[in-house]
Amino acid sequence: MGDIRNIIQALKDCGTSRVVKHLEPERYLQSISAAKDLYQRKDEESLKRQELVFHTPRQVTTESKGIPHFSFGVPEKRPHYKFMAQSKRALEDLNLKSDDALINICQGSDVYVDESKDIFPYSLAYAGFQFGEFAGQLGDGRVHNLFDIEDKNSLLQTLQLKGSGLTPYSRFADGKAVVRSSIREFIMCESLHAIGIPSSRALQISSLPKTRARRSVFEPCAVITRFAPSWIRLGNFDLFRWRQDDKGLLKLADYSIDHVFKGLKGYKDTTSLNSFNDNLFEGISGGINNKELHSSKIDDEMTKYDKLFRHITGLNAESVAYWQAYGFCNGVLNTDNTSILGLSIDFGPFGFMDKFQPNYTPNHDDHALRYSFANQPTVIWWNLIKLAEALVIPLGAGPSLVAKVASTSRDAWEESEIKQISERASAIINLTGQEYEFKFTTKYAELMAKRLGYNLEVPAVLTDDNIKSTASRVTSFTLNIIEPMLRILTVSGVDYNDFFLALQNYDGPFLDEAGINGVDDGLYKVFFKEEQVKKIMDSYMGQEQSDSGETRKLVEEAEILSDWSKSYVQLVPNYKERVDTSKQYNPLFIPRNYILEAVTDHYTENQRSELNDPNAQLDNGPLEKLLLMATNPYDKSAWNHSFLPELEKEWTDTTKNEDLLMTQCGCSS
């Protein structure tokens, strides 16, 4: 960990741009030198060319008519900029101090260029499958990647601006981001990271007075600074598959291996892929449940491309396990929104699930429920299959043919080689799909166990020898604890996150011979609402209910609770051990949609004129309070109780207003 530095010093010490240095630019500007020269010219002809090259949407190609990986560009100049907030946690993690230089670079009013370090802003090219249909060329339509700098752990992070203007990839959009969605993403990035869910990060948000965007109505705009170790996504590979540009695809794959994953240094090949030739969790709900997967085996060594696909798959399996354990719904999981690092990125109309309803989607445009909570694991695997299809030749080549991949065109492979490539690629995909199922299910069970105060003791390093014993332990815990518990929560409708806190804080007995079904009365209040507990009690007292079968259903779940309680107390009999474990995994605060909406309304409704007036002072208090709570979800003492205490109380007392729970949003942002 180095000393805290200002952004200019950080850029001089460790600034770079891996994408610019190693990947292929669009044909209009083939080098930083050319981009810098154009950007610095102020004559009328050059300004017209800047508009054409930097801010005009188009189909992009390279000088050789291939597909570029990126295009040089600069943020559009806005009439005014107004700083709103920075994440203290992000500043600490980047070893940066807040000053005017950082604020100006992070809102796009200043542009940093350093030809000697390959630094010039750029936008990435990618395609994508959106709602299952291929959408053609997409790309960073309102994003400018600035540069890479080292964080406090010496890991390179790519900083980018969102809402910073038109790029070659804007298509029919305007390059803008509205205040409403910018605040939501700014908070959610930092909240997910603080909870422990893999996510991109957010550093700064600034409003843009006098800049408005037409959505359903005209809305005020903002720009946020995000960062991640890489912004390469599955959609980057989709683009080259679509155009059958194998050379560009291979260059992207090699870049991912060498510079995103540092030669696959983080990939640990402790288990053979053939160990997953059977589905070890068949019958357990919640995974991909892909019936098309079948037993397969490979009889040769893994190549670097096999390892790349396997590593990306494993990272995404673990990430979606976190989403499912914490009830987070992305909203739109297209391939262009799926990170090769398994990070939560480019959130759609996202939201935490207030109640356990598997079919919940926060996206009111998702009528088919493709991206519902229950479908997230399956959809991520579907996206990964698209990645495998893009990489089918290097995956299928194997060690015997991989040396030929870079120099062999598609029509030059012999029939026997095509057959070998096809069969091996199919085997790799099937085996990796089973491994995805294993890693997702195991991580999900491990997280749920810890939320319940139990250490499932999943081995830190999986090997061929401990896979089956791990699967057996996970299966038992899932069938006896997780599934019956979620069944009860589905019926009772108690708050999902609050349930874990209530169970964590429950210090009464679980079993009581004198209680209904042998369960202590107090435990019923953890699993059921007060009025539901009364109905259960009245039913056992012989009082008839006329509520269309609701009481009967509650009584059935009360019986399930009896068996669940007996299983649970055998696993975690010690109250202190249970609390010590669970409090590390149960956040005391999550930014629910109605809270985010209250903060956005504070700006868009209560301060509409101030947002549009460059000289007016904004009241950023609620945003700062929300950021403080969201970035310290396990530590109330860090919330500064004297600062807006009324909001702290309001936001930690879960609303009983059903109209504010399980809400949905549109995709427009």
Which residue, among 152, 221, 170, has the nearest Cα to 55 in the 3D structure? 170
* 45 and 136 belong to one structural domain: yes
* 384 and 406 belong to one structural domain: yes
195-220 pLDDT tens trace: 999 999 999 999 999 999 999 899 99
Q: Assess whether pLDDT exceeds 90 at residue 62.
A: no
* 271 and 400 belong to one structural domain: yes
Q: Assess whether pLDDT exceeds 80 at residue 544.
A: no
For residue 198, being part of any structural domain is answered with yes
Q: What is the mean pLDDT of residues 636-655?
A: 96
> What is the percentage of the chain residues whose pLDDT exceeds 70?
98
For residue 659, being part of any structural domain is answered with no
Residue 375: pLDDT band by 50, 70, 90 thresholds? very high
User: What per-residue confidence (pLDDT) applies to 281?
Assistant: 85
For residue 572, being part of any structural domain is answered with yes
* 256 and 152 belong to one structural domain: no
Q: Assess whether pLDDT exceeds 80 at residue 421.
A: yes
What's 26's DSSP letter?
Answer: P
Find all residues with CB under 8 Å of 89, minimum gap 6, and list them: 190, 193, 194, 631
User: What per-residue confidence (pLDDT) applies to 280?
Assistant: 87
- List 70's β-bridge partners, or say none: 25, 124
Q: Assess whether pLDDT exceeds 60 at residue 290.
A: no
User: What per-residue confidence (pLDDT) applies to 549?
Assistant: 86
* 263 and 216 belong to one structural domain: no
Q: Assess whether pLDDT exceeds 90 at residue 63.
A: no
Residue 64: pLDDT band by 50, 70, 90 thresholds? confident
Amino acid letter, 88: K
From CA 347, how far away is CA 185, in angstroms rounded? 7
Selecting among 336, 354, 366, 520, the annotated active-site residue is 336
Last residue of a domain, one of 208, 231, 254: 231
Q: What is the mean pLDDT of residues 137-143?
A: 97
Residue 267: pLDDT band by 50, 70, 90 thresholds? confident
* 29 and 155 belong to one structural domain: yes
* 91 and 117 belong to one structural domain: yes
Last residue of a domain, one of 445, 464, 483: 464
Q: How many domains does the chain have?
A: 3
Parent domain of 46: 7-231
* 120 and 253 belong to one structural domain: no
User: What per-residue confidence (pLDDT) applies to 647?
Assistant: 98
* 370 and 408 belong to one structural domain: yes
Task: Examine the residue annotation and report whether 258 is marked as an active-site residue of this protein.
Answer: no
User: What per-residue confidence (pLDDT) applies to 397?
Assistant: 96
* 408 and 506 belong to one structural domain: no
Of the listed ranges 162-166, 247-251, 660-664, the one predicted with least confidence: 660-664
For residue 405, being part of any structural domain is answered with yes
* 47 and 144 belong to one structural domain: yes
User: What per-residue confidence (pLDDT) applies to 293?
Assistant: 57
Q: Assess whether pLDDT exceeds 60 at residue 289.
A: no
* 64 and 181 belong to one structural domain: yes
Last residue of a domain, one of 192, 208, 231: 231
For residue 206, being part of any structural domain is answered with yes
423-438 pLDDT tens trace: 999 999 999 999 999 9
User: What per-residue confidence (pLDDT) applies to 285?
Assistant: 58
Q: What is the mean pLDDT of residues 290-306?
A: 81
Q: Assess whether pLDDT exceeds 80 at residue 612.
A: yes
Q: Assess whether pLDDT exceeds 80 at residue 2.
A: no
For residue 597, being part of any structural domain is answered with no
> What is the percentage of the chain residues whose pLDDT exceeds 90?
89
Residue 294: pLDDT band by 50, 70, 90 thresholds? low
Residue 288: pLDDT band by 50, 70, 90 thresholds? low
Q: Which long-range contacts (CB under 8 A, 24 or more apart) does 285-291 make?
A: 285/483, 286/324, 286/374, 286/377, 286/441, 286/444, 286/478, 287/377, 287/378, 287/437, 287/440, 287/441, 288/377, 288/378, 288/381, 288/433, 288/436, 288/437, 288/440, 289/378, 290/378, 290/381, 290/433, 290/437
User: What per-residue confidence (pLDDT) applies to 609?
Assistant: 96
For residue 299, being part of any structural domain is answered with yes
Average pLDDT of the chain?
A: 95
Residue 72: pLDDT band by 50, 70, 90 thresholds? very high
Q: Assess whether pLDDT exceeds 70 at residue 597.
A: yes
Residue 301: pLDDT band by 50, 70, 90 thresholds? very high
For residue 371, being part of any structural domain is answered with yes
Chain center to CA of 458: 24
